[in-house]
Amino acid sequence: MSQKSPFIVSADWLEERLHEPGLSILDGSWYLPAQGRNARAEYEAAHIPRAVFFDHDLVVDPDSDLPHALPEPLTFERFASSMGISERDTIVVYDGSGLFSAPRVWWLFRVMGVEEVFVLDGGFDRWRAEGRPVTSEPTKIAPTAFLPHFDRTRVARLADMRRIVEEGSAQVADARPAGRFTGAEPEPRAGMRSGHMPGAINVPATSLSEDGSLLPPGRLRKRLEDAGLDLEKPVVTSCGSGVTAAVITLALESLGHRDNRLYDGSWSEWGGRDDTPVVAGSE
C-alpha cells in the first residue's frame, strides 16, 4: 500500500502481483474533450496486462439523461460480471494521467460493496514511462457473478442537495476548476448555467495531486483546510458530472474522513435546471 493513502497502491506493488489470481485491473481512463485524448483508443493501443477497459459513458443508468449517472445495483452487477469482476476480487484502477477519473471507478465499486479496491499511484502514463510491462493484446475475460451490496448512504441526490443548500447541513466541495466554479469560464456541456451552488467551496480536483500522485497526508489536509473545509464536519463532493468529485472523496477518505457523500448528478443536474439557485463569482 502507498504511504499517501490506504486506498492507493504503488506500481511496484501491482507489478509484483500481475499474475496472482483474484486480481482485477481496470483502465478507468476518461477525458474531457479539451484534453484531446481518446481513452478507449489509448487502451487498445497499450494497457497494463490483464487490464479491462471501464467505459464511464457505458456503465451508467440507461434511464437517466444525465452523464455518468450512477446505475442501479442490478445494472452495475451485469456490467461488472461481464468484465469478469467479482466483489471478492482485489481491484486496482488506473487512468492515464494518474488521478483524474480512476477515483470515480474506485468510488463506484466501494458504493457497490467492494472492500479491496485501490487506485494505482501515478497512473498509466508513469507506469509506461518507467518501462513497466504493457500490451496491446485484448484481455481474455471469463464472465463471473458480481454480487453488489449497495450503500445508498454514500450517495447524495437532488432532493438531498436542495436540503443541504437550504439548511447548510453539510459542506459542499466542488471539484471543478476555479473558472467554472466562479462562472468566469463556460461549462463544457451545452445548456449548463455558470457558477456554483450557494455556500459551495471550490476544491479543484487537480489541486489535490502532483505528478499523478495524491498529495502526502500533511499537505493534503492543509490543501483541503486552506480551501475552507472543516474536516470535522460532513462533506458532499460535487463536480461537473460526478467523475472528479471522487478525487475529493478519495482525499477525504485517505485522511480518515468518513462522513461524506458524492452528489452523483453534480453540476450537470444542478446547473442544467432552472429551479435551483446558482451563485456566480467567488462568493
Weakly modelled stretches of the chain, pLDDT under 50: none
C-alpha span between 165 and 170 (Å, rounded): 8
Please tell me the distance from the alpha carbon of residue 96 to that of residue 163, in angstroms, as a whole number.
37
3-state SS of the chain: helix, strand, coil percent to 5?
A: 30, 15, 55
- pTM of the complete model beyond 0.75: yes
> For residues 83 and 112, what is the distance between their CA atoms, to the nearest angstrom?
15
Q: What is the pLDDT of residue 190?
A: 83
Rg of the chain taking only CA atoms, in angstroms: 18
Dihedral of the CA atoms 69, 70, 76, 82 (nearest 10)? 40
pLDDT at residue 189 in the model: 85
What was the pLDDT predicted at 32? 86
Identify the pLDDT of residue 143: 81
User: Quick one: pLDDT at residue 155?
Assistant: 98
Give the residue from 156, 177, 152 showing the smallest Cα distance to 234. 156
CA dihedral sign of residues 206, 249, 257, 214: negative
pLDDT in tens, 60-78: 999 999 999 999 999 999 9
- CA neighbor of 108 nearest in space, from 93, 124, 121, 90: 93
Q: What is the pLDDT of residue 33?
A: 85
Is there a catalytic annotation at residue 239? yes
Catalytic residue (choose from 239, 243, 250, 262): 239
Rounded to an integer, what distance in angstroms lies between the CA atom of residue 194 and that of residue 269? 12
Quick one: which of 117, 133, 154 has its CA closest to 5? Answer: 117
